[in-house]
Amino acid sequence: MAVQLLFRFRRRRPAAKRTNNDFGILSIAVDPGSQHSGVGRLLMQECEKVARSRGCDEMTLTVACDNFQAIRFYEHAGWNKTPNDQSWQGRMRKLLA
């Protein structure tokens, strides 16, 4: 079974007093033969644990707009599309409570 996961941790310090820490998922892939087995869900849960342990308050990622299977996967996991001024360009985010 082959899985791949890349992530980044970025601290953004906006001009306001509040500090916003986000945890960006750069890439996640599950071997097609292992899809629908829960491996992707476990990978994302582990990312969420790491993000929380680093004090992040949100997670971000970008998905291809025509990758409907992945979009559905993320939405079922609590992710939301992040709108743009024009049209949605694949950005998603999950707030960590």
CA distance 81 to 84: 9
Under DSSP, is residue 97 helix (H, G, I), strand (E, B) or coil?
Answer: coil
Q: Which CATH class is domain 3-95?
A: alpha beta
Residue-range domain boundaries for the chain: 3-95
- The count of other CB atoms within 10 Å of the CB of residue 73 is 19
Q: pLDDT digit string (tens) for 3-25?
A: 555 555 555 555 444 456 889 99
Q: pLDDT digit string (tens) for 39-91?
A: 999 999 999 999 999 999 999 999 999 999 999 999 999 999 998 777 899 99
DSSP label at residue 80? E
Whole-model pTM: value is: 0.76
Predicted pLDDT at 17? 42
Phi, psi of 42 (to 5 degrees): -65, -40
Predicted pLDDT at 11? 58
